[in-house]
């Protein structure tokens, strides 16, 4: 696999917009059906009181965001949500937990959830924080399809966002997941005060992994009152599209997911992201703790764009 250099990635970011989008869209067409979009639905199986201090997150115990904390959900409750997600067209069900990492007893419960959700005919994804190699193996044995673990930003910007763990900790878990044979879902967030260089570095790290993540979520920061990042300057919409385009060029065979932040984006901006190479998104009224674009609005948007959901 070609290893990207930072200067080459920056050169892409600096291309005239039309040239960049043409290049990204051409690569997109060579690798995917441009009229298809993959849908995943999220469900937060454990809410709040997380010991980590990710400065964007509503669920960190370090900030007062007014979020009601909740223990691990019961299996039946999870299955009800998974059935609804399937009914609404999702092909993958992603379960998130506000943990630094799972305890063994919790992991066993999540494993039951994975098995049961899979038996409904859905792909499964979980995001549980840091994992030990043997925990990744257990999840693989349970049939887990994807593990989401974001690098969130560049290595250089990382300690301005989170100090309770390091960038290297994150990479270690990603390595364990990949070695266990689980597909990696890994991306980041824009709008956390990062520079274009940080965005380029983040995408370069992802693209240069031994196996680039099969799924790459690009989130627009959802500003949560009470978190340190509340009030940060918003990302320029065209710069957001550029980042999607560069992700598509760097990782031609990966699903690039237009993730958090859609409820604050126009249909036109989302359409530009899909043209630039985004071919996956989250469906459902809610993400983990914040609202998503409404299902009825999604149906209308996909219809107008002639996008088939898969």
List residues with catalytic annotation: 50, 54, 57, 94, 125, 185, 257
Written in H, E and C, the secondary structure of 6-66 is HHHHHHHHCCCHHHHHHHHHHHHHHHCCCCEEEEEEEEEEEECCECCCCCCCCCECCCCCC
Residues interacting with ligand SAM, by CB under 6 A? 56-57, 96, 98-99, 127, 129, 149-150, 152, 189, 219, 221-222, 224, 260, 288
Q: Does 60 bind ligand SF4 (CB under 6 A)?
A: yes
Q: Is the dihedral of CA 24, 25, 27, 32 positive or negative?
A: positive
Minimum gap (Å) between residue 45 Cβ and ligand DTB: 11
Minimum gap (Å) between residue 162 Cβ and ligand SF4: 7
Q: Does 45 bind ligand SF4 (CB under 6 A)?
A: no
When binding is defined by CB under 6 A, the residue of 222, 256, 276, 278 that contacts ligand DTB is 222
Q: Does 289 bind ligand DTB (CB under 6 A)?
A: yes
- Whether 159 and 121 have beta carbons less than 8 Å apart is answered as no
Q: What six digits make up the tokens of 99?
A: 């943990």
Minimum gap (Å) between residue 29 Cβ and ligand DTB: 25
When binding is defined by CB under 6 A, the residue of 228, 287, 302, 307 that contacts ligand DTB is 287
Q: Does 55 bind ligand SF4 (CB under 6 A)?
A: no
**Which pairing describes strands 255-258 and 123-127: parallel, antiparallel, or unpaired?**
unpaired
Q: Does 75 bind ligand DTB (CB under 6 A)?
A: no
Q: Does 177 bind ligand DTB (CB under 6 A)?
A: no
- Placement of tokens 């219809």 in the chain: 303
- Helix ranges (DSSP H) in the chain: 6-13, 17-31, 75-87, 104-118, 133-141, 155-158, 167-179, 196-207, 237-250, 267-276, 295-305
When binding is defined by CB under 6 A, the residue of 20, 21, 54, 206 that contacts ligand SF4 is 54
When binding is defined by CB under 6 A, the residue of 41, 47, 55, 148 that contacts ligand DTB is 148
Q: Does 129 bind ligand DTB (CB under 6 A)?
A: no
Rg (CA), the chain: 18
Residues that bind ligand DTB (CB under 6 A): 42, 58, 94, 96, 127, 148, 150, 187, 217, 219, 222, 259-260, 287-290
């Amino acid at each position: 696999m070609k290893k990207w250099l930072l200067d080459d990635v920056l050169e892409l970011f600096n291309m005239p917009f039309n040239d960049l989008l043409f290049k990204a869209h051409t690569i997109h067409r060579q690798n995917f059906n441009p009229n298809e979009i993959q849908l995943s639905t999220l469900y937060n199986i454990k809410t709040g009181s997380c010991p980590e201090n990710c400065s964007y997150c509503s669920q960190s115990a370090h900030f007062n965001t007014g979020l009601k904390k909740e223990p691990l959900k019961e299996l039946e409750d999870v299955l009800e949500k998974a059935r609804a997600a399937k009914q609404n067209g999702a092909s993958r069900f992603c379960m998130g937990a506000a943990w630094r990492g799972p305890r063994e007893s919790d992991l066993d419960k999540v494993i039951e959830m994975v098995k049961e959700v899979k038996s409904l005919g859905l792909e499964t994804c979980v995001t549980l924080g840091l994992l030990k190699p043997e925990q990744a193996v257990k999840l693989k044995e349970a049939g887990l399809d994807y593990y989401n673990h974001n690098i969130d930003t560049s290595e250089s910007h990382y300690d301005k966002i989170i100090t309770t763990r390091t960038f290297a900790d994150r990479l270690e878990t990603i390595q364990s997941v990949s070695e266990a044979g689980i597909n990696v879902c890994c991306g980041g967030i824009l709008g956390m005060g990062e520079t274009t260089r940080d965005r380029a570095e983040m995408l370069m790290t992802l693209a240069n992994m031994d196996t680039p993540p099969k799924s790459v979520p690009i989130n627009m920061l959802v500003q949560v009152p009470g978190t340190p990042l509340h009030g940060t300057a918003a990302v320029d919409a065209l710069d957001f599209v550029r980042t999607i385009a560069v992700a598509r060029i760097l990782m031609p065979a990966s699903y690039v997911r237009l993730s958090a932040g859609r409820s604050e984006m126009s249909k036109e901006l989302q359409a530009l992201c899909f043209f630039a190479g985004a071919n996956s998104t989250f469906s459902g009224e809610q993400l983990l703790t914040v609202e998503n674009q409404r299902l009825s609005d999604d149906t209308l948007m996909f219809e107008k764009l002639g996008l088939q959901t898969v």
